[in-house]
Amino acid sequence: MILSVSSTLEQLDLTAVPPAAEKPPVNEFLGALGTRLREFRQERDLTLQELEELTQVPWSMIGAIERGQQNTGITTIARLVNGLGVGFQALMDGLPEPPPPKPRQRRGPRVPRSR
């Protein structure tokens, strides 16, 4: 049984899925935000793991944010800027405008509820 699993693994083409580092940012804003966070972290000679210890934000999430591949909430951003010792305004200065929100699409006609 193990032999068949290993032979199946050998047949998989893993080159079809690019590594996370090669995926482009979700949008220009998240890419710029992530770059700015990485610059602040590197200026302080912190590893992802050290910043995780300071902020309680998982290092994998920090890495995804730095690559612009993670849209995160304000609480996480606040933890990161506090851990880095920078102000929120310093993080946001000069960043491009975030993209407009996507309109919500309804699945079907709206049916009023009876009371």
Does residue 70 form part of some domain? yes
Query: Distance between CA 62 and CA 74 in Å, rounded?
Result: 14
Q: How does pLDDT run across 26-45, given as a tens digit for each residue?
A: 889 999 999 999 999 999 99
The pLDDT assigned to 1 comes to 46
In a domain, residue 74? The reply is yes
**What 3-state class would DSSP assign to 74?**
helix
Residue 36 lies in a domain: yes
Q: Which domain holds residue 39?
A: 20-90
Residue 105 domain flag: no
Q: Is residue 95 part of a domain?
A: no
Which residue has tokens 């200026």?
43
Residue 106: pLDDT above 50?
Answer: yes
Question: Taking 60 as the threshold, does the pLDDT of residue 115 lie above it?
Answer: yes
Arithmetic mean of pLDDT over the chain: 84
Q: Are the CB atoms for 67 and 23 separated by under 8 Å?
A: yes
Quote the pLDDT of residue 54: 96
